[in-house]
A = this chain, B = another copy of it.
Amino acid sequence: MRTGLARASVKLSRNARVMKEHGSGMDLELGTVMAKQKERTAVLENAEVCAPEWNDILEKMVLIRKFEEASEREFRKGNIGGYLHVYSGQEGIVAGILTALGSEDIVFAGYRDHAHALVLGSDPKALMAELFGKRTGLSKGKGGSMHLFDVAHGLYGGYGIVGGHLTLATGAAYALRYRNTDRVAVCYFGDGAMNIGPFHEALNMAGLWGKQGMCPALFVIENNGYAMGTSVERHSALTDLSARMRAYNIPAEKVDGQDVFALRGVADRVVRQIRETGHPYCIEAITYRFSGHGAADILQPYRTKEEVEEHKHRDPILILKKRMKEVCGLTDDDISRMEKEAAAVVAGAVKFATESEEPAPEELFRDVVSGSGEDRFHG
């Protein structure tokens, strides 16, 4: 563990490298962002880190990790079908940002969407049941892992077409303002999604609508360095992804995605700003995915084992634990209790999903269009 933390600081500099090469985003000078973030983190350390909320955040992150581990296990057992993309390593991005939202705010995600649901408050049981394709699932088993919806908790979907949901989030943000609310729409997407046409069309419209204060959207780039097996350098002509956002007149800043404190500090500030101005903003979270792209990505020929191992030293959960130990006196006992609780929740979810029934056959014809279903089943 000690060695791990020692090496973590080595990796911190990789993260810093990304920031350094590209500048920080906004109009800040090179390096200033890192300093500012440290500053903000420091503020958090002193004033807020030991608030009970941070305990909850750590709990959520631990829960996500356990949940993802379980989902990978259940996939291998054949209990989960289709594609499965887990969030391990990236937990900080949802924990640090979504906890800055109000209860009325809404979220759009890609197919790597379990973490978003968990942080928003979805029932892990219903989530696992969805992955199992059971009638007790969030969407009655009809969507699966890639299409999590929990509208009651603000989750307006996981989407399977890369970059296809940016337009939805942009339109949803417009609607929130059109209806005179001060709600905010958050949209997560990967680095690879930035090269697809609908991304471009959506972001330009977001930038335009922002000028009228009609686009209260936070765009979050989950920059984990790869689109499947293609690194950012190989898929983006301009590797400074924040700079690309500014081509839409959308301010963007890079944040260390493994540092949930930094993320939360930025998120608090920009969510407030978006709420006030109705103008979109972008957080580019520099992160890393610990597992394969999807459950089928076993070989991972595009990266070395060493690279993965190195990044594991910058596990966002480790970093948060360490800070909370240092600052708030979190103990190893606290942590292991937390882990046990999370494991129990996940085990309960798996049990629930296992024992749940599959969807009734007539579900096949329901939800095609409004009111469809009941009278159409002829199986």
Q: Interface on A for B, CB 8 Å cutoff?
A: 195-201, 203-208, 210-211, 234-238, 243-244, 246-250
Contact = CB atoms under 8 A, between A and B. Distances in A.
Nearest to A280: B237
6 contacts: A195-B200, A197-B200, A207-B238, A237-B248, A238-B247, A244-B247
Nearest to A237: B207
Contacts of A197: 196-201
Max chain B C-beta neighbours (<10 A), residue from A196, A197, A198, A235:
A197
A75 to B, nearest CB: 32
A379 to B, nearest CB: 40
A196 to B, nearest CB: 7
Contacts of A248: 237-238
A203 B197 CA distance: 11
Which 5 pairs of residues, A with B, have the shortest CB-CB distance?
Answer: A197-B197, A207-B237, A200-B200, A247-B247, A237-B249
Contact of A250 (B205, B237, B244): B237
A203 B199 CA distance: 14
A207 B244 CA distance: 13
Nearest to A248: B237
A195 B163 CA distance: 16
A144 B168 CA distance: 38
A150 B28 CA distance: 51
B201 A195 contact: yes
Contact of A195 (B199, B204, B243): B204
A274 to B, nearest CB: 16
Nearest to A210: B237
A255 B199 CA distance: 29
Contacts of A199: 197, 200
Given A244-B247, A247-B243, A247-B247, A208 B237 contact: yes
Contacts of A250: 237
A26 to B, nearest CB: 15
Contacts of A207: 237-238
